[in-house]
Amino acid sequence: AQTVTQSQPEMSVQEAETVTLSCTYDTSENNYYLFWYKQPPSRQMILVIRQEAYKQQNATENRFSVNFQKAAKSFSLKISDSQLGDTAMYFCAFQGAPYFGNEKLTFGTGTRLTIIP
């Protein structure tokens, strides 16, 4: 079974600064997907970024980028020029290759990020 570990329960950073959230995972699979989801107080899980394990290039989405280290099973999220709207819980999630029928997301316990004005 896959496991996802987020070792930072809470983080805070000044507005406009850069922050990095950590995530490690354990799997015996070679092909899989990794995600960062954001959950604001409204409770809706919002996709931030997705990484495909067979792609060596790190995914980026505007101010959000990842550092994917497949051998180390590490998947960190960097938020640049942080904004007040980035305040939320951030969840790292693992998904096995869908053609094996293992489509469920396995989530970590989350990191509560607060952006300070």
Partner 1 sequence: EAGVVQSPRYKIIEKKQPVAFWCNPISGHNTLYWYLQNLGQGPELLIRYENEEAVDDSQLPKDRFSAERLKGVDSTLKIQPAELGDSAVYLCASSIQGGIQYFGAGTRLSVL
Q: Are 113 and 19 in contact (CB under 8 A)?
A: yes
Our finding on whether 93 is near partner 1 (CB under 8 A) is yes
Our finding on whether 30 is near partner 1 (CB under 8 A) is no
Number of helical H runs and strand E runs in the chain? 0, 12
Q: What one-character-per-residue DSSP string does 10-63 give?
A: EEEEETT--EEE--EEE-S-SSEEEEEEEE-TT---EEEEEEETT--SPPEETT
Q: Please state whether beta strands 88-96 and 74-79 pair in parallel, antiparallel, or not at all (unpaired).
A: unpaired
Our finding on whether 55 is near partner 1 (CB under 8 A) is no
Among 14-22, 37-45, 64-72, 75-83, the segment contacting partner 1 (CB under 8 A):
37-45
Our finding on whether 7 is near partner 1 (CB under 8 A) is no
Residue placing its CB nearer to partner 1 in the complex, 37 or 75: 37
Our finding on whether 42 is near partner 1 (CB under 8 A) is yes
Our finding on whether 47 is near partner 1 (CB under 8 A) is yes
- Site for partner 1 (CB under 8 A): which residue of 1, 71, 85, 99? 99
